[in-house]
Amino acid sequence: MATQRLFFAISLPDEMQQQLVHWRADNFPAEAGQPVVAANLHLTLAFLGEVAPQTSQQLQTLASRIIQPGFDLDLDDAGHWPRPGVVWLGCQRAPRGLLQLASLLRAQAARHGCYQSPQPFHPHITLLRHATQPVALPPRGFHWRFRVSTFSLFASEYSRGRTRYRALASWPLTS
Ligand code: 2AM
């Protein structure tokens, strides 16, 4: 069977995706970059790259054994990385649970041959792509909070000019 382009991520509640899309439309001009469609807004925990089915299965088995409490995520920070052309939303202080979960998934991925960037994990939700020109960021003061009680493995699929993220499996965090 063919490889799949995979990543572990936290998906956002539907209503939060809608709120963010409206906030983005109110705060960034159309020329700032290409908006990520609402359904694709997510926070990546570990990017795996192209993965063979057997490795995917092994990583899913390990993910299913993770026992970790859920946590609240506060989205209260935004930034611009001009080189990859990304405008993002993130948190001023990442919760410990988020860092622990990402670090575990990234270590498991690395042990299974999935290259992990040496750059420190910077949790973020990409709002705009192809944002290579300077962008005025909204002033601080925005804030959304949501409870993270699951995480998922996604396949990134590209067809007819569109990228779609399909959840292959999800696992609960403890309450
Ligand atoms: P990004 O939004 O900052 O581009 C699917 O592509 C997800 O995996 C995105 O959230 C993307 O982050 C993340 N990702 C991390 N490293 C990546 C890489 N080397 N190539 C593509 N996506 C990567």
pLDDT in tens, the chain (175 residues): 899 999 999 999 999 999 999 999 999 999 999 999 999 999 999 999 999 999 999 999 999 999 999 999 999 999 999 999 999 999 999 999 999 999 999 999 999 999 999 999 999 999 999 999 999 999 999 999 999 999 999 999 999 999 999 999 999 999 9
User: Quick one: which of 6, 30, 12, 26 has its CA closest to 128?
Assistant: 30
46 has which bridge partners?
8
Alpha carbon distance 62, 5 (integer Å): 18
The rounded Å distance from CA 17 to ligand 1 centre is 18
Tokens of 126: 């990409």
Pocket test residue of 7, 156, 163 for ligand 1, highest count of atoms within 8 A of CB: 7
124 is annotated as an active-site residue: yes
Q: Name the amino acid, one letter, at 138.
A: P
Looking up tokens 């990134």 gives 156
Tokens of 122: 């910077």
Helix, strand, coil tally for the chain in percent (to 5):
25, 40, 35
pLDDT at 173: 98
pLDDT at 15: 97
Atom of ligand 1 nearest to the CA of 36: 2
- Contact of 154 with 6, CB cutoff 8 Å: yes
CB-count burial class (<10 Å; 0-12, 13-18, 19+) for 51: buried
pLDDT at 104: 98
CB-count burial class (<10 Å; 0-12, 13-18, 19+) for 26: exposed
pLDDT at 18: 98
